[in-house]
């Protein structure tokens, strides 16, 4: 969840500055100049000189740099990396923060974390790509979704089946191969055991990376510990860009 202040209704930019000008200066020209050099940050609800602000390229909304840095860092740590929306919940242009802007706002370590998480999610979203299943390898491999085909990782040289992610099985289907391999060779087929023995509704796959997640209690907003994808536990719809969780407002309206 993001800080509640992001959704706080704010007065139009420049309002307070204009009022102060009227009270302190009889010159309209001076007031106009004063307004043009200040902006109103809708995150911390404070006024700053323009030089302390950061205007977003995609929507021209402006915020103080300190607030934007905290907002971006919070989003990255929460796994919201595919598209960071403008912090103004009422932004009419539906703007977002670009990769270049993110690199200028956060430290190198945080930006590297952002790039790694973004890579994980982009691979999870694109079904024609997959990570090499070899432990310790971060190689990305291409293939046809759902088709059993030999795939060679360019990073480590491991050859596997693009469909089932097991060793390549040229003369057998994926099901035939899984039926004959031993428990020791397949890691005791832990995934299959969980699917068969887990209580109804307690275990589900992440809709992006298919890692199994067990939910014991809490709200329906879930974040995958593997790829950091945020989704609704009940319908598995993505909540990555739904910072204000309006998805549940719609669900509540439909049930009433």
Catalytic residues: 219
Q: Is the Cβ–Cβ distance between 208 and 124 less than 8 Å?
A: yes
Q: Which tokens go with 124? A: 């999870």
Helix 65-77 × helix 108-125 angle, to 10°: 50
Nearest Cα neighbor of 218 from 206, 207, 202 is: 202
> Tokens 């929460």 identify what position?
78
CA distance 213 to 165: 19
DSSP code, position 198:
S
Residue (of 43, 37, 34, 39) closest to 6 by Cα position: 43
DSSP 238: B
- Long-range contact pairs involving 165-172 (C-beta distance under 8 Å, separation at least 24): 165/130, 165/133, 166/133
């Amino acid at each position: 969840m993001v800080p509640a202040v992001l959704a706080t209704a704010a007065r139009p930019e420049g309002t307070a500055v204009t009022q102060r000008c009227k009270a302190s200066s009889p010159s309209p020209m001076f007031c106009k100049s004063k307004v043009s050099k200040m902006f109103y940050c809708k995150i911390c609800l404070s006024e700053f000189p323009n030089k302390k602000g950061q205007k977003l390229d995609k929507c021209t909304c402006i915020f103080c740099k300190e607030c934007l840095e905290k907002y971006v860092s919070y989003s990255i740590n929460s796994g919201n990396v595919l598209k960071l929306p403008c912090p103004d919940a009422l932004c009419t242009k539906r703007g977002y923060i670009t990769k270049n802007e993110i690199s200028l706002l956060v430290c190198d370590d945080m930006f590297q974390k952002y790039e790694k998480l973004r890579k994980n999610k982009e691979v999870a979203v694109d079904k024609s790509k997959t990570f090499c299943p070899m432990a310790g390898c971060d190689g990305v491999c291409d293939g046809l979704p759902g088709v059993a085909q030999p795939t060679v990782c360019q990073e480590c040289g491991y050859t596997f089946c693009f469909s089932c992610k097991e060793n390549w099985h040229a003369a057998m289907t994926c099901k035939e191969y899984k039926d004959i391999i031993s428990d020791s060779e397949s890691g005791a087929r832990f995934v299959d055991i969980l699917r068969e023995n887990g209580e109804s509704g307690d275990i589900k796959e992440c809709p992006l990376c298919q890692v199994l997640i067990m939910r014991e209690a809490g709200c329906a907003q879930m974040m995958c510990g593997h790829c950091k994808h945020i989704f609704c536990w009940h319908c598995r719809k993505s909540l990555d860009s739904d910072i204000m969780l309006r998805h549940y407002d719609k669900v509540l309206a439909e049930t009433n």
